Chains A and B, each alone.
Chain A
Amino acid sequence: MSRVAKGHDRSLMLGNEALARGLVENGCRMATSYPGTPASEILSSVAAWKKSEKLDRMHVQWAVNEKVAFEIAYTGSIAGLRTAVAMKQVGLNVASDPFMSAAYLGVKGGFLVISADDPGPHSSQTEQDSRLYAMSAKVPVLDPDSPGQARDMTGVGFRLSEEFEIPVMIRPTTRVCHARQDIEKKKVQRNNVEAVFEKNPARWAATPKFRYKLHNQLEEKLKKIALWKETAPVCLNPSVQSKKAIIVSGVSAAHAKDIVRELGVEGIITLYQVIQPYPLHTQFIEMVLKKHDDILVLEETTGVIEMQLARSDRVKGKNSGHVPETGELLPEIIEKIIADFLSVKSGSKILETKPGRRPTLCAGCPHRASFFAIKKAAPKGIYTSDIGCYTLGMNLKAVDTVLCMGAAISQAAGFAHAYDDKKRPPIVATMGDSTFFHAGIPALIDAVVQNIPFLLVILDNRTTAMTGNQPTPASGKDVLGEPVTAIDIEKLVKGCGIKYCRTANPMETDKFIPLLKKAVKYSQNNGPAVVISRSPCLLSLPNEELRENYKRVEITDTCDGCGYCISHFECPAMVMDKEKEKVTLDRSLCTGCGVCVHVCPKKSIVPAESSNVEGS
């Protein structure tokens, strides 16, 4: 239907908002998360509905990391409440310890683990498939094809979780999280269940002997879940009898539905949609293998369904080499695979990927000022860095390594141990404030104990910028904007045992570079040093404040177009005019931070008031 009946209360919902809506429509009482693309908007949407629907008994919070977020929400569920935790796929790596164990112990109130995958990857370090984690933990997983289905799966997930007392994973992908769809809202459910924790040490504090028993119980649960009707695969065209069949799941299902219709093959090929990729329904496996002798499986990102069908002679998919094992399964790729599988013609065109504009730090970003100063203070250094906007310091050649959240410090330690004392270059680690709280603290303690000669620059922009400016533990505000206790980063650093800790503003370049030089020297002679480079993210500041601090700069006629500022500072507001062989300023982008005045080796960038030259 391309038209909708009038009078329905529909809203255009982002997949993540739809998941959040599903939680509040199904009486979720506690939701936790740590931000990460593509999952970030789930929790902020829950918070928005908590506010607008006055769900006073619901607890919503950003946690310091995914492990903590998981443990809080999980424990809410063993006290009998419906709860949920949301994260991106690499966040599940951080939360994997409690995740594995929670499957054994099970739950009381329904407990959903939303882990958003990022095939492509668009904004992640890996293309890992959270469904493999679900298999490994022995937790059932649901795979939504659209925002609408994601919303509906929250209700199904809670019922499944409660019926079998087991955590349930919902695994959306980027194309579900960041799709928008018109969705009809259902009523919000006010759930007034009282928390009751029934003590049972043999379960909630199980020793290895009991864990063995629990493992047996878990296997029994999985067998039953593989028979549970509500999540069984669906045949989309039951009247068709064909030897060949296509099995689809997740957003690949959405693509395949349109493609099968457009190719005009819906009447000749049986199409099944898997709702619960693990555990795959036993009767479905038997039926499919009995009815069809040539089966194509389309799923992202690993062949999880294919693996459980376990018939390489009849099943075509990722493992058999018929479907690419890497990258996003785009609809044009699916169209070609389906057309080849059915020997029909298609006009499928794969676009050649052309390099677009690369992302860069915003004009006026304090990270750029920090990186510029770091390169001046330790020009031949090794620069370990981390996950956040500041990963883009790579463009400035001020980031040499990025592994995972919190690794900048341990990698600095690794390099320090690897080099002999006399040959060791200066080592400077950069890490954002939110990342430091998330995973940097244990590594810093270790570096103090081992007396690692390195400088840690904490890029403290007072926010979690990359994912949309969520608060950090230092912000003093929670997800609802309400005041909470703020953690003092200096005290924390000193509490880790650091003796040399300085705080400075990177935008004051003339003072900041010498301060960094001193700190680098100290670290080389005495052991770990920390500089907290504090200046707020511009995206989090009100326009009035930006206008107040605006420092107009000019580029004088002495600019000879050497390009030093473009390659070493890479401010989007500075543009090389190739005809005039001169750098010009894009005033629509310039934030007037004034840092570039210190960048030009020829002093051709000057504050406007001391300049006699008309601005460009």
Chain B
Amino acid sequence: MNYQIIISGAGGQGVLFITRLLAEACMNDNRHVLTSETHGMAQRGGTVISHLKVGDFKSPLIRPGSADLFVALKPENLDLHYGFLKKSGMAIVNSSEGSLTAGTNRAKALNADFLANQDNNPGSINLYMLGGAIALIPVCSIEKIKKQIEIRFVKKDKKIRAKAVMALERGFKTIVSGC
């Protein structure tokens, strides 16, 4: 099945990291992937957006009204990039539930900042969000992503790897149990 995914946030939050992680996990599931990333000046804290397409595509960009899934690592990005979602698409936003814009019933809140703070895992906000995102739209199994984290962090300390996996799982479970 084809998937089109928008991931956005602020430079430094790890938008590119989770885009690449999800893309590699899908690739290792023998699917074609195509991404488009923001590099350069915007990475200095500006708005960063990446497009990820899984399946049969030639163009690296997603057109407005076409995305199946939108992951917003900053609450203000929901409004900024909501237009990319198609009618049946779903968004997941790093936000406390109350602050979601009205009329966006296709947007689900996941308070990743809060969870990361609780777990003393502030560097993994992006992974809580990725976990939640794939619970919402099953682009790829959580097992494949976990495996990819193991590969990517192979040279890192065991504790760091475990924290990353924990963030992914907790984001996933929070959305599953909340549905």
A-side interface residues toward B, CB under 8 Å? 1-6, 10, 12, 14, 37-38, 40, 122-123, 145-146, 175, 178-182, 251, 253-255, 257-259, 330-332, 335, 347-352, 354, 356-362, 389, 391-392, 466-467, 572, 588
Partner of A4, one of B31, B46, B58: B31
Say whether A123 contacts B39, CB under 8 Å.
yes
A347 to B40, CA, bound (A): 32
Q: Which residues of A contact B30 (CB under 8 A)?
A: 3-6
Say whether A37 contacts B41, CB under 8 Å.
yes
Docked complex: B57-88 residues within 8 A CB-CB of A: 57-61, 63-65, 74, 76-77, 79-80, 83-84
Q: Which residues of A contact B40 (CB under 8 A)?
A: 37-38, 122-123, 466-467
Which 8 A-B residue pairings sit nearest by Cβ, starting from the closest? A123-B40, A356-B47, A359-B46, A37-B40, A179-B60, A2-B55, A180-B35, A349-B64
Task: Tell whether B33 is near chain A: CB-to-CB under 8 Å.
Answer: yes
A123 to B46, CA, bound (A): 12
Say whether B63 contacts A335, CB under 8 Å.
yes
Say whether A351 contacts B44, CB under 8 Å.
no
**A-B contact count, CB below 8 Å?**
141
Say whether B55 contacts A258, CB under 8 Å.
no
Say whether B41 contacts A360, CB under 8 Å.
no
A253 to B59, CA, bound (A): 8
A145 to B60, CA, bound (A): 10
Say whether A358 contacts B60, CB under 8 Å.
no
20 A/B residue pairs, CB under 8 Å, sorted by A: A1-B56, A10-B27, A38-B39, A122-B38, A122-B39, A146-B58, A175-B36, A179-B37, A180-B20, A180-B37, A182-B27, A254-B58, A331-B59, A332-B64, A347-B65, A352-B83, A357-B10, A359-B43, A362-B12, A392-B44
Q: Which residues of B contact A5 (CB under 8 A)?
A: 30
Given contacts A123-B42, A180-B34, contact A332 B79 (CB under 8 A): no
> Which residue of B23, B46, B47, B61 has the most chain A CB atoms within 10 A of its CB atom?
B61
**Shortest distance from the beta carbon of B6 to any chain A beta carbon, whole Å:** 11
A391 to B47, CA, bound (A): 17
Task: Tell whether B32 is near chain A: CB-to-CB under 8 Å.
Answer: yes
Say whether A258 contacts B83, CB under 8 Å.
no
Say whether B60 contacts A146, CB under 8 Å.
yes
Instruction: Give the interface size bracket for B toward A.
Output: 35 or more
Q: Which residues of B contact A389 (CB under 8 A)?
A: 41, 44
Q: Which residues of A contact B43 (CB under 8 A)?
A: 359
**Shortest distance from the beta carbon of A172 to any chain B beta carbon, whole Å:** 12
A37 to B11, CA, bound (A): 16
A178 to B27, CA, bound (A): 18
**Shortest distance from the beta carbon of B63 to any chain A beta carbon, whole Å:** 5
Partner of A254, one of B56, B59, B84: B59
**Shortest distance from the beta carbon of B7 to any chain A beta carbon, whole Å:** 13
A82 to B78, CA, bound (A): 49
Say whether A330 contacts B47, CB under 8 Å.
no
Task: Tell whether B2 is near chain A: CB-to-CB under 8 Å.
Answer: yes
> Which residue of B40, B79, B122 has the most chain A CB atoms within 10 A of its CB atom?
B40
A218 to B122, CA, bound (A): 60
Q: Which residues of B contact A362 (CB under 8 A)?
A: 12, 44-45
Q: Which residues of A contact B55 (CB under 8 A)?
A: 2
Q: Which residues of B contact A37 (CB under 8 A)?
A: 39-41
Say whether A178 contacts B64, CB under 8 Å.
no
**Shortest distance from the beta carbon of A115 to any chain B beta carbon, whole Å:** 16
Q: Which residues of B contact A4 (CB under 8 A)?
A: 30-32
A348 to B20, CA, bound (A): 28
**Shortest distance from the beta carbon of B117 to any chain A beta carbon, whole Å:** 9
Given contacts A12-B27, A123-B41, A254-B58, contact A182 B63 (CB under 8 A): no
Say whether A359 contacts B41, CB under 8 Å.
yes
Which residue from chain A places its CB closest to the CB of B43 in the assembled complex? A359
A6 to B29, CA, bound (A): 9
Which residue from chain A places its CB closest to the CB of B46 in the assembled complex? A359
Say whether B84 contacts A351, CB under 8 Å.
yes
Q: Which residues of B contact A391 (CB under 8 A)?
A: 41
Say whether B46 contacts A356, CB under 8 Å.
yes
Given contacts A1-B56, A4-B30, A6-B30, contact A350 B64 (CB under 8 A): yes
Q: Which residues of B contact A180 (CB under 8 A)?
A: 20, 23, 33-37
Which residue from chain A places its CB closest to the CB of B44 in the assembled complex? A359
Which residue from chain B places its CB closest to the CB of A259 in the assembled complex? B59
Say whether A254 contacts B27, CB under 8 Å.
no
**Shortest distance from the beta carbon of B132 to any chain A beta carbon, whole Å:** 20
Say whether B84 contacts A255, CB under 8 Å.
no
Say whether A349 contacts B35, CB under 8 Å.
no
Say whether B42 contacts A351, CB under 8 Å.
no
Q: Which residues of A contact B63 (CB under 8 A)?
A: 330-332, 335, 348-349
A330 to B60, CA, bound (A): 10
Say whether A359 contacts B60, CB under 8 Å.
no
Given contacts A257-B59, A359-B45, contact A179 B34 (CB under 8 A): yes
Q: Which residues of B contact A259 (CB under 8 A)?
A: 59
A3 to B39, CA, bound (A): 29
Q: Which residues of B contact A349 (CB under 8 A)?
A: 63-65, 83
Task: Tell whether B169 is near chain A: CB-to-CB under 8 Å.
Answer: no
A389 to B41, CA, bound (A): 7
**Contacts A179-B35, A254-B60, A467-B40 supplied; 17 other A-B pairs, CB < 8 Å:** A2-B31, A3-B31, A122-B42, A123-B39, A180-B23, A180-B35, A253-B58, A258-B58, A332-B63, A349-B64, A349-B65, A349-B83, A357-B74, A358-B46, A359-B11, A359-B41, A362-B44
A351 to B64, CA, bound (A): 6
